Structures are given as C-alpha cells and as structure tokens.
Chains A and B, each alone.
Chain A
Amino acid sequence: MTEGTGTTAQAVTRAEYCVIACADAWRNDGEVLASPMGLVPGIGARLARRTFAPDLLLTDGEATLVGPDGAAEGWLPYRQHLTFVTGGRRHVMMGASQLDRFGNQNISCIGDWERPDRQLLGVRGAPVNTLNNPVSYWVPRHSRRVFVEKVDMISGVGYDSAAAAGPSATRYHRIPRVVTNLAVLDFETPDRAMRIASVHPGVTVDEVQEATGFTLALPEGGEVPDTRAPTAEELRLIRDVVDPRALREREVRSV
C-alpha cells in the first residue's frame, strides 16, 4: 500500500494499468457526461479529465456536476440524468455480474428469473443506457463466473440482441470496451464478438482465455499488444492527486 505515495520510478502497478485503460475509454468523447461506476473507473474518469479529456462532465456521485476542484458547475438530479442518457451525451462504465461473447450484461439475478438462485440489483438503468449512449464495462476480477457463454438475464443489451431487436435498438447502441484486471476487451470483429484488444503487462493471452468461459477473438495477425503504460505525468496525477490514498490497490491487487 505504500508504493502509491511517491512519484519516483516505482514500477507501475496492475491497478494503475487498469486506471489508464479505464481513462482511455473516455478519450475523444468530447463534452459528455462520464458516469464511472466503481472505484477504478472513477479514478480513470477523473484522470482523463485532468489530462486528455478536459471537457468531460462529472458528478459528485449525487445530484451536482462538479469541476476538478470539487466546485459545483451544474445541477443533475436523477430525472435530468436520464435525459443525458437518452440524449446520448454520456458514456457510462458499468459493472457486470455476467458478460457474454456479444456484450450482453447481467446485473439483475443469477439463475431462473422467476425464482433466482441469487437475486442481485435488478436491471437498473442498463437497458436504457445500452440503447442510448456508449456503455463500457469494468470487471475487477476476470473469471469464468463473469465471462459466460450466455447471461441469465439480459440487463445491458449486447450486439446480437440489439441486432435481433431491430433498427431502433441498434441506432445508438455501442460498447466501446471492457476493462478487467487482466486485459482490455472490445468488439472490433466482423461479427461483433468479444476480442482481446490488449493485455496488461505481465498477463498472457492464455491466462485471459483461461479465465473466460468462451473463445475470445484476437486482433488481426494474432499479435496482442500490451496495455499502454501511463506517462510520468499521468502516474504523478494518479498517485499524488486523484488517488493519494491508493484505494485502487485494494480493488485490484498487484501480483
């Protein structure tokens, strides 16, 4: 836990690669609301705004839009938040209890919906999010329990489900990326199946595949790049400004 406090040349931790991979989800998004759910995506979004995405809007987690210094710049109660969603000027990074090959996501329940083995949150805003604004996902523990062949309850709509539901469903549907503790995944394949876009340094492609309950596509040529390293300035901001208590290291343990 102590390595997060300095800016000297300590090795970049796995959590810090995850922060960078999350931050990059909002690159080139422009003036939209970044809605990070979870600790590492929250650090990533704030880092993105302090560096390459200065026009992002962010909330205090309640009903106020706040600047980097925490000062209010706008009011955003839930009812108006929903207009950001349906107006499309938002990029959310949600969690996922299950995710499948085409990006269908489940946060509702595990097992039979009528009488679940494990009742989770319910679909929440996943249906409206996925049909209206870009939705990325964050999975802090990449495993076969999360990455399944078929999700039990489609909360967030995947590419195959959107296509089957027709043009109103596909019109604004987009899943830019899935970030996990092992890799960055996307759907940049002809049939929109999940692909390994990059692995975090120290992780092998085999490890990612082993932790996934279906076959992942690979980039053309089969060569999987490493997730990019943070710049010295990004590392300084993560360690000294955005997350000085190194909470990121609790969500993603270093190996």
Chain B
Amino acid sequence: MTASTGTTGTTGGHDRTGRADKLMTADEVVGRLRSGMTIGIGGWGSRRKPMALVRALLRSDVTDLTVVSYGGPDVGMLAAAGRIRRLVGAFVTLDSIPLEPHFRAARQRGALAMTEVDEAMFMWGLHAAANRLPFLPVRAGLGSDVMRVNPELRTVTSPYEDGETFVAMPALRLDAALVHMNRADRRGNGQYLGPDPYFDDLFCEAADRAYVSCERLVDGFGPDVTPQSLLIKRHVVTGVVEAPLGADFTSCVPDYARDEAFQKLYASTPWAEFAERFLPPGGDEKQYRSAVQAWHEEQK
C-alpha cells in the first residue's frame, strides 16, 4: 500500500473507529513546513536519514532553515541548494567518505552559519527540549573553542558541595522533526530494526510536530514484536509517510545497506549537474528512483 492509495487517506483524518489516521505524502509533509523554521533531521551521518523527505523539501521552495542534525548528505544537499541559513551540529560526514563535499563548499564560501557544538552537548540539548527544560548541564565544551564560537553559551554552577561549573546546554527545541523508520503504523508508532536507534525518538519528542517516513507501513506490530524496537510513540507524531527506499542512498539496515557507488557519485559530482539529472524541477520521488536505477544500469 502506498500513501496515495491509502483507504482513508485523509490528512489529519480518523478511521472508522475514530482513531487518528496520520498517513500523508512527503509533499503534504513539506506543505506543512515554512521558510525560517528550525527543523531537526534524524539518523546519523550517512545512516537512516529521511532522504525522501529531504528530497521533497528540495522540490519545494521552503528555505532559510535552521537545521539541527548529526549531519550527513541531508545537510550536504540542503546546503548545496542554499536552503540552510544556520546549521546546528557537531559534524557533517558521509561515513565511508569522511568529509561531506557540499557542506564543505558551503562553509568555505561563507554561505552557512553554524552553531557548532559537541556530539554530547547536542544530545543533551535535545533531552532538554524533550523534557521542557531550558538547559541541561554538561561537562563537554569547557576549555574548547566551542565556547569561543558560541559566545551566547552560558555556564551553570552546581549548588551542592562540589561547586563544579558546567556548560548550560540550551534546549534544542524544534518546529519540526523529520525521521525515517523501518516500519510504522498509520497512527505514528515507529519501529527500527537495525542495530542503532540513533536519536530519532528524541528528535520527535523535542519537536512541535514530528513526521515519520517508513520503509513499510504496517497495520500493527503483531503479538511477536520485540517491544524495545518500538522506538517512536504516536503521541509525538503528526504525520506518517510510506516511503520505500526513503533513506536511500544512506543505510537503512536490515532493509538495505548504504548505496556506496551512488554516494560516491553524489560526492564527486558538482551539485548543479547532480540536481539536474536526479532532482529536476517538476520531478517526484518516482522519477528520482528511475534516474538512480538508470544510472546503476549504466555502470554495469
């Protein structure tokens, strides 16, 4: 079943028993985003990124974004297309290719403002937002140039005998979160099947609205489900998108591994050329998939 043939298919609608039905298309998700928003993107580096949602974003005119991400090609593509005003993050990498070329280029031409924080600071910023706290104390950051390049960061002193001073990592509250799961139901329960949940539940909890794309939509998870795999709870989810290969070319194990050959092409092709072939104006996800497939055929 695809999003476009959903039986109820009514965005924000309810099924016969009155339960919320959150199924929507990637374009409908992007239709709810606005320029200038702060958007969190789940996954990690080049791993289980919500790439179908990012591609839909690239087809829209939403821009001037503050992106909060453990960055990979999501950041690279949006930066290449000039959609990011500010990036909040600790790194951007393609994993098997350590340096993300489009992110690098954007930074080197002065096109990308950054709030550069440490990986742990980032995580505690999401925890603070999810727990509706203004900040959480972290040791990380002290003594490093993270303090120099973020002059707005403040410290906090322990009221107990230790009297230690920590960085007060501010909450990373998000207008919207975009994440990709292996499975989800129409109500917004999301399941990961790989070895690492990354921080996708936190992104959803830190956001005013969370949108979950999934490899496969399921009616329910059945009696044999491993409950620990049910990462995302429906109460924080606004929309669910069925998007097979929706993390591609990043990894989405066990459904598929990273498409290393295509990632290499992405990393070595000037953005304009890449976008013209794979993300042309007026195109959609289906066209993207055929273009990628055609490219793979050529390589044989």
* A residues at B contact (CB < 8 Å): 62-64, 75, 77-79, 82, 85-86, 108-109, 113-128, 130-132, 153-157, 161-162, 164-169, 171-173
Cβ-closest chain B residue relative to A83: B120
Known contacts A82-B119, A122-B116, A154-B145; A127/B140 CB under 8 A: yes
Q: How far is the CB of B89 from chain A (nearest CB, A)?
A: 6
Q: How far is the CB of B159 from chain A (nearest CB, A)?
A: 14
* B residues at A contact (CB < 8 Å): 44, 71, 89-93, 98-99, 103-104, 107-110, 116-121, 123, 138-146, 148-149, 164-166, 195-199
**7 cross-chain CB contacts under 8 A:** A75-B195, A124-B119, A130-B143, A131-B142, A157-B144, A168-B139, A172-B139
Question: What is the CA–CA distance of A132 and B166 in the complex, to the nearest angstrom?
Answer: 13
Q: Across the interface, do B123 and A79 meet the contact criterion of CB distance under 8 Å?
A: yes
Q: Across the interface, do A131 and B139 meet the contact criterion of CB distance under 8 Å?
A: yes
- Give the residues in chain A near B71, CB-CB below 8 Å: 122
Question: What is the CA–CA distance of A164 and B108 in the complex, to the nearest angstrom?
Answer: 31
Question: What is the CA–CA distance of A228 and B166 in the complex, to the nearest angstrom?
Answer: 41
Contacts A119-B99, A168-B166 known; list 7 others, CB within 8 Å. Answer: A64-B195, A77-B196, A128-B120, A131-B142, A154-B143, A154-B144, A173-B143
Q: Across the interface, do B89 and A77 meet the contact criterion of CB distance under 8 Å?
A: no
9 closest pairs, A vs B, by CB? A128-B140, A165-B143, A122-B91, A63-B195, A128-B120, A127-B118, A119-B107, A157-B143, A63-B196
Known contacts A63-B196, A117-B108, A168-B164; A125/B123 CB under 8 A: no
Question: What is the CA–CA distance of A130 and B90 in the complex, to the nearest angstrom?
Answer: 15
Q: How far is the CB of A210 from chain B (nearest CB, A)?
A: 28
Q: Across the interface, do A120 and B144 meet the contact criterion of CB distance under 8 Å?
A: no
Across the interface, B199 reaches (CB within 8 A) one of A79, A119, A126, A165, namely: A79
Known contacts A82-B123, A126-B118; A131/B140 CB under 8 A: yes
Q: Across the interface, do A115 and B90 meet the contact criterion of CB distance under 8 Å?
A: no
Q: Across the interface, do A128 and B139 meet the contact criterion of CB distance under 8 Å?
A: yes
Q: How far is the CB of B249 from chain A (nearest CB, A)?
A: 18
Cβ-closest chain B residue relative to A131: B139
Across the interface, A115 reaches (CB within 8 A) one of B110, B145, B196, namely: B110
Question: What is the CA–CA distance of A115 and B113 in the complex, to the nearest angstrom?
Answer: 9
- Give the residues in chain A near B164, CB-CB below 8 Å: 167-168, 171
Q: Across the interface, do B99 and A121 meet the contact criterion of CB distance under 8 Å?
A: yes
Cβ-closest chain A residue relative to B228: A75
Across the interface, A132 reaches (CB within 8 A) one of B109, B121, B139, B199, namely: B139
Q: Across the interface, do B110 and A114 meet the contact criterion of CB distance under 8 Å?
A: yes
Q: Across the interface, do B120 and A125 meet the contact criterion of CB distance under 8 Å?
A: yes
- Give the residues in chain A near B109, CB-CB below 8 Å: 115
Question: What is the CA–CA distance of A157 and B166 in the complex, to the nearest angstrom?
Answer: 15
Question: What is the CA–CA distance of A124 and B120 in the complex, to the nearest angstrom?
Answer: 9
- Give the residues in chain A near B165, CB-CB below 8 Å: 166-168
Known contacts A121-B99, A123-B91, A127-B141; A85/B110 CB under 8 A: no
